[in-house]
Amino acid sequence: MAQKAAKTLATRNSAVLTRTHLISAALHILFLFLHQIFHRPRSLKPYFLLAVPTLVIEYYLDRVGRPRYNEDGSLRSAGEDLNATGLTEYMWDILYWTQGCILAVCIFNDRAWWLWAVVPLYSVYLAYTTVMGVKKGFAGMGGGNRAEGDYEGAKSKREMKKEKRGDRVKVRTR
């Protein structure tokens, strides 16, 4: 059972990529079919502007995640883990959200493309929470609260032990 983990990853990646390609192709064909049938006064500009970049993402995920085999059928490379966190996870979010938007446009109308505006808003939210988390992490370095003048919450271990015993502790403020 050599390389069992790699074989499992290769099988999982192949299944995920096949399913993603089939769903994506079905949604794009459905959209283009409905566009041709109903001849609504809709333009294909939003479709190309918003859907084509996800096709590029899908191609990238296929390139990095598709397992590669030798001529004799043995596994050469299992591909990258498509369940990885970080940028890969964000790409999957964009891909799934765009597929949902295409489906919404098929069911409702072209105004459903505005749902795609959630992606940049989500990016701004992620950037904000990351910056605030880093800022909060740096605030703990060097005494954090005492530098801001909040002496009530910042007590030394000695002061806390005295309070626990019932001794009266006098906290001086500057």
Q: What does 132-174 look like in DSSP terms, one character per residue?
A: HHHHHHHHTGGGTHHHHT-TTT---HHHHHHHHHT---PPP--
Largest CA distance in the chain: 84
End-to-end CA distance of the chain, in Å? 69
pLDDT over 90 for what percent of the chain? Answer: 27
Phi, psi of 10 (to 5 degrees): -65, -45
Rounded Cα gap, residues 131 and 139, in angstroms = 12
Cβ-based neighbour number of residue 79 at 10 Å: 21
pLDDT digits (tens, 9 = 90+) for 89-139: 989 988 999 999 999 988 888 888 888 888 788 888 988 998 888 888 787
Rg of the Cα trace of the chain? 27
174 has a pLDDT exceeding 80:
no
Rounded Cα gap, residues 135 and 132, in angstroms = 5
Instruction: Provide mean pLDDT across the span 40-57.
Output: 84
Quote the pLDDT of residue 27: 94
**Residue 162: is it exposed, middle or buried by C-beta count within 10 angstroms (0-12/13-18/19+)?**
middle
30 has a pLDDT exceeding 80:
yes
Quote the pLDDT of residue 169: 53
E strand or H helix at 68, and its extent? strand 68-69
Instruction: Provide mean pLDDT across the span 157-167.
Output: 79
Query: Which amino acid is it at 147?
Result: A
